[in-house]
Amino acid sequence: MTIAFESAADPLAPAGDDSVRPFVVEVLDVRGRAIQMGPALDAILSRHDYPAHVSRLLAEAIVLTVLLGSSLKIDGRFTLQTETDGAVDMLVVDYRSGGAIRAYARYNGERLAAAVASGSVAPGELLGRGTLAMTVDQGANTSRYQGVVPLEGDSLEEVAHTYFRQSEQIPTHVRLAVAEMQTREHGGLRHSWRAGGLIVQFLPESQDRMRQPDLPGGDAPQGAEDMLEEADEDDAWVEARSLAATIGDDELTDPAVPVETLLFRLFNERGVRVFHSIEVRDQCSCSREKVAGVLASFSADEIRQSTEEGEISVTCEFCGTRYGFDPATFPGAPTASEQA
């Protein structure tokens, strides 16, 4: 996978939907990436057809995964996964080098309906408490890297901030936004999903300038953190973070405001340079061979339990593709006498 920081792109040519745009603001020692997602995101969410609140959460997780995964100089897979105790108890998103993405969510319909009825639908309320794990997997014979942070009733933006503060010690600001669009098409209305995201990171030459206030203890008085931040943080980072925080959700998802326009609105006084974009696409990595490989390791018991009406049927949770197999073709298949 190549990351295009070597040459600047035409700043005025919009990369369009589903393209990650890397950028730097040299004066502020800031670099980042921005994206607006359209067709690739809509394809994934429309296929799953989850309730709207679940789709929104998964869309945020997809944008966050793309922003983080596209920065890694690896050949492999970056996975973001939440495991929590809320109505939406699992989100899984994969980003593979080259830009292929896939995602799914798991939720409890009754608990979700109860949460909607009581108006408790903020991202943190639907997720509940648990963990968010980010895994980098570069394939067989390489070590996996995994970072895990607690998720305690926060938005995914907040969890990302915690992760970068605790695990990477890089001052980071993330914005994520999701929108449902209704467009006129063939005389009717067509519903589609859009999303946008921005990550800004402070990476000065001198490590000393990256200092951040310690997280306040449990008994810190209200407002203590704000005071610390003003006192301790580098002026350039305070400025960059404040600028990034001014973007509205509607701007981040507006098809009429390409990310290049957005970046110029934010940073043009300081001079922003954009680089070649990285396209992402809706593409699963499942295959008949991979599923068969898993089934080949099943015991006779597992093969028997997986067989229904003489067939083993496996459906990919990411893309919904169904694979059917004859159980007799696997080593673990029960013999005729066992079946009796």
Binding stretches for Zn ion (CB under 5 A): 284, 286, 316, 318-319, 321
Among the residues of 183-248, which ranges form H helices? 224-232, 235-245
Closest CA to 131 of 115, 114, 149, 143: 149
Q: Give the DSSP H or E segment for 193.
A: strand 188-202
Q: Which is nearer to Zn ion, 271 or 320 (CB)?
A: 320
Return the number of other C-beta atoms located less than 10 Å from residue 288's C-beta: 12
Q: Which is nearer to Zn ion, 24 or 319 (CB)?
A: 319
Smallest distance, Zn ion to C-beta of residue 284, A: 3
Q: Which is nearer to Zn ion, 236 or 316 (CB)?
A: 316
Smallest distance, Zn ion to C-beta of residue 45, A: 15
Smallest distance, Zn ion to C-beta of residue 316, A: 3
Q: Which is nearer to Zn ion, 21 or 77 (CB)?
A: 77
Tokens read off for 81:
């996964």
Q: Which is nearer to Zn ion, 73 or 322 (CB)?
A: 322
Q: How far lies 75's CA from each of 82, 83, 247, 277, in Å?
A: 23, 26, 33, 17
Q: Percentages helix, strand, coil for the chain, rounded to the nearest 5?
A: 35, 30, 35
Give the angle subtended at the CA of 78 by the CAs of 36 and 209, to the nearest 5°.
Answer: 75
Q: Are 28 and 239 in contact (CB under 8 A)?
A: yes
Q: Which is nearer to Zn ion, 261 or 306 (CB)?
A: 306
Give the CA radius of gyration of the chain.
23
Q: Is 18 left (phi over 0), alpha (psi -120 to 50) or beta?
A: left
Burial of residue 314, with CB atoms counted within 10 A of its CB: 0-12 exposed, 13-18 middle, 19 or more buried: middle
Smallest distance, Zn ion to C-beta of residue 125, A: 30
Smallest distance, Zn ion to C-beta of residue 287, A: 8
The crossing angle, in degrees rounded to 10, of helices 235-245 and 259-267 is 130
Write out the DSSP string of 101-132: EEEEEEE-HHHHHHHHHTT--SHHHHH-EEEE
Distance of CA 179 to the CA centre of its chain: 16
Q: Which is nearer to Zn ion, 35 or 319 (CB)?
A: 319
CA terminus-to-terminus distance, the chain: 53
Smallest distance, Zn ion to C-beta of residue 104, A: 9
Smallest distance, Zn ion to C-beta of residue 142, A: 23
Q: Which is nearer to Zn ion, 321 or 329 (CB)?
A: 321
Return the number of other C-beta atoms located less than 10 Å from residue 27's C-beta: 14
Q: Which is nearer to Zn ion, 156 or 319 (CB)?
A: 319
Smallest distance, Zn ion to C-beta of residue 205, A: 44
